[in-house]
Amino acid sequence: MVAQEPTSKIRPPAVAGSFYPRKRAELRATVEALMSRASNSGESGLVGVIAPHAGYMYSGPVAASAFASLGTQVRTVERVLLIGPPHYVPLHGIAAPSSQTFATPLGEIEIDHAAIAALLDAGLVTIDDRAHAPEHSLEIELPLLQHALGHFQLIPLLVGDVTPEQVASVIGAVLDARTLLVVSTDLSHYLDGASARARDLATAEAIERFDFTSLGPEDACGFAALNGALCAGDQHGWRIKRIDLRNSGDTSGDRGRVVGYGAWALSETSTAAAGRH
pLDDT reported for residue 251: 85
Pair 91, 131: CB distance under 8 Å: yes
Out of 8-17, 103-112, 177-186, 246-255, pick the least confident.
246-255
Domain ranges of the chain: 10-276
Is the pLDDT score of 3 beyond 70? Answer: no
Pair 43, 267: CB distance under 8 Å: yes
For 18-45, how does the pLDDT look when each residue is reduced to its tens digit (9 = 90+)? 999 999 999 999 999 999 999 876 778 9
Pair 127, 95: CB distance under 8 Å: yes
Is the pLDDT score of 253 beyond 60? Answer: yes
Residues of the chain with pLDDT > 90: what percent?
Answer: 87
Residues of the chain with pLDDT > 70: what percent?
Answer: 94
**What does the mean pLDDT of the chain come to?**
93
Question: What backbone torsions phi and psi does residue 109 show, to the nearest 5 degrees?
Answer: -120, 125
> Using N-to-C axis directions, what is the helix angle for 24-37 and 142-149, rounded to 10°?
70
Assign domain 10-276 one CATH number from 2.40.128.30, 3.40.830.10, 2.30.40.10, 3.40.640.10: 3.40.830.10
Instruction: List beta partners, residue 104.
Output: 107
Is the pLDDT score of 4 beyond 80? Answer: no
Categorize the per-residue pLDDT at 7 as very low, low, confident or very high, splitting at 50, 70 and 90: low
pLDDT reported for residue 276: 46
pLDDT reported for residue 89: 96
Residue 237: count other Cβ atoms within 10 Å of its Cβ.
Answer: 11
Is the pLDDT score of 8 beyond 80? Answer: no
For 125-171, how does the pLDDT look when each residue is reduced to its tens digit (9 = 90+)? 999 999 999 999 999 999 999 999 999 999 999 999 999 999 999 99
pLDDT reported for residue 270: 60
pLDDT reported for residue 237: 97
